[in-house]
Amino acid sequence: MTIKDTIRKYTNELKLVTHIPAKEVEILMLHLLEKNTIWLHLNYNVEFEKEKELAILVKKRATNYPLEYIINKASFYGEMFIVKEGVLIPRPETEILVENAVEILKDKKETIKVLEIGTGSGIISVMLAMLIENIKIIAIDINEKAIELAKQNAIKLGVENKIEFRLSNLYENINENDIFMTISNPPYIANNYKLPTNVKYEPSNALFGGDIGDELLKDIIKQTSEKKIPYLLCEMGFDQKAPLENYFKEFKVDSFSFYKDYESFDRGFTLKFKI
């Protein structure tokens, strides 16, 4: 059976789990063949010799198992990152968080120290290291598997010399007093929220932030203020703007702003403390 016919055959099996079933079948085929999209399109009429392996992967994906965990990679900010089960999958909206940080950091002449809380696969720290020349980053997580994966991505993209990876629960193992910015995409979903089926395969400690959902965010805000770090940039839940804005009043704040994601939901904030 040709590549073209194989795509047509297996597309039907993924129609209930994705809005781009044919594209996902192609991605799985490319993963098996270790080829790129251009090669695939030039070889649609070539015989496909790995149908047995493809059938297994398609069946797995049809259970809503994340595509990124099957192919062990995900695209973020135009780069390809290694992804593994047990670590949160990168989301496109986190690119906005990175862009907001870059706007603050880009014109700094001296070396700036940045802390990332909950680095996961390392996408935020790695991209900041790639985009900002004079930067030193401490990237922390409570998940050893995440730290190891983030290190792999830093090495893959050639920025391992700019990032120190450290196991830490929030500021527990952070003694530095010269941090200019803390950035984080922390867990912010309420514990009783019913997750979509595909998200259930991701680690719960990277998703759930407490009974209300914003408890961990509030801990980060409070501890960042106590550490006298000028800037804090975080992602948040779509319904957390009002309670967080109210919480900001408990601290000496110079300015703050919220931003929306690609679907126009409230998704994060930039907070500048009076130091």
Instruction: Domain of residue 51: give its range.
Output: 3-63
- The verdict on residue 25 lying in a domain is yes
100-144 pLDDT per residue, tens: 999 999 988 899 999 999 999 999 999 999 999 999 999 999 999
> What's the pLDDT at 275?
84
- The verdict on residue 70 lying in a domain is no
d(CA 84, CA 40): 25
Same domain, yes or no: 130 and 15: no
- The verdict on residue 188 lying in a domain is yes
- The verdict on residue 82 lying in a domain is no
> What's the pLDDT at 164?
98
Residues 136-154, mean pLDDT to the nearest whole number: 97
Same domain, yes or no: 100 and 15: no
> What's the pLDDT at 142?
95
Residues 251-264, mean pLDDT to the nearest whole number: 96
Tokens representing residue 13 in the block: 């099996």
Same domain, yes or no: 180 and 247: yes
> What's the pLDDT at 56?
97
Other residues' Cβ atoms within 10 Å of the Cβ of residue 151 = 16
Residue 71 has pLDDT above 90, yes or no: yes
Measured at the CA of 19, the angle between CA 13 and CA 20, to 5 degrees, comes to 75
> What's the pLDDT at 133?
93
Helices (H), 12-66: 21-33, 37-42, 51-61
Indicate the residue type of 219. Answer: D
Task: Report CA torsion sign: 127, 132, 134, 140.
Answer: negative
Tokens 């990168």 correspond to 90
Residue 226 has pLDDT above 80, yes or no: yes
Q: Which residue has the higher pLDDT, 261 or 210?
A: 261
- The verdict on residue 81 lying in a domain is no
Same domain, yes or no: 228 and 100: yes
> What's the pLDDT at 177?
94
173-223 pLDDT per residue, tens: 999 999 999 999 998 887 888 888 878 888 888 888 888 889 999 999 999
> What's the pLDDT at 213?
87
Same domain, yes or no: 34 and 122: no
End-to-end CA distance of the chain: 67
Same domain, yes or no: 55 and 111: no
Residues 85-95, mean pLDDT to the nearest whole number: 94
CATH number of the domain enclosing 205: 3.40.50.150
Same domain, yes or no: 118 and 215: yes
> What's the pLDDT at 66?
96
Same domain, yes or no: 44 and 154: no
- The verdict on residue 71 lying in a domain is no
Residues 50-57, mean pLDDT to the nearest whole number: 96
Task: Tell me how many domains the chain contains.
Answer: 2
Same domain, yes or no: 208 and 130: yes
Query: At which of 15, 46, 63 does a domain end?
Result: 63
Same domain, yes or no: 147 and 209: yes
- The verdict on residue 69 lying in a domain is no
* Bridge pairing between strands 112-117 and 181-184: parallel
Same domain, yes or no: 255 and 141: yes
State the average pLDDT for the chain. 95
Same domain, yes or no: 137 and 255: yes
Indicate the residue type of 142. Answer: I
To the nearest 5 percent, what fractions of the chain are helix, strand and coil?
40, 20, 40
> What's the pLDDT at 212?
84
- The verdict on residue 78 lying in a domain is no
Query: At which of 47, 63, 79 does a domain end?
Result: 63
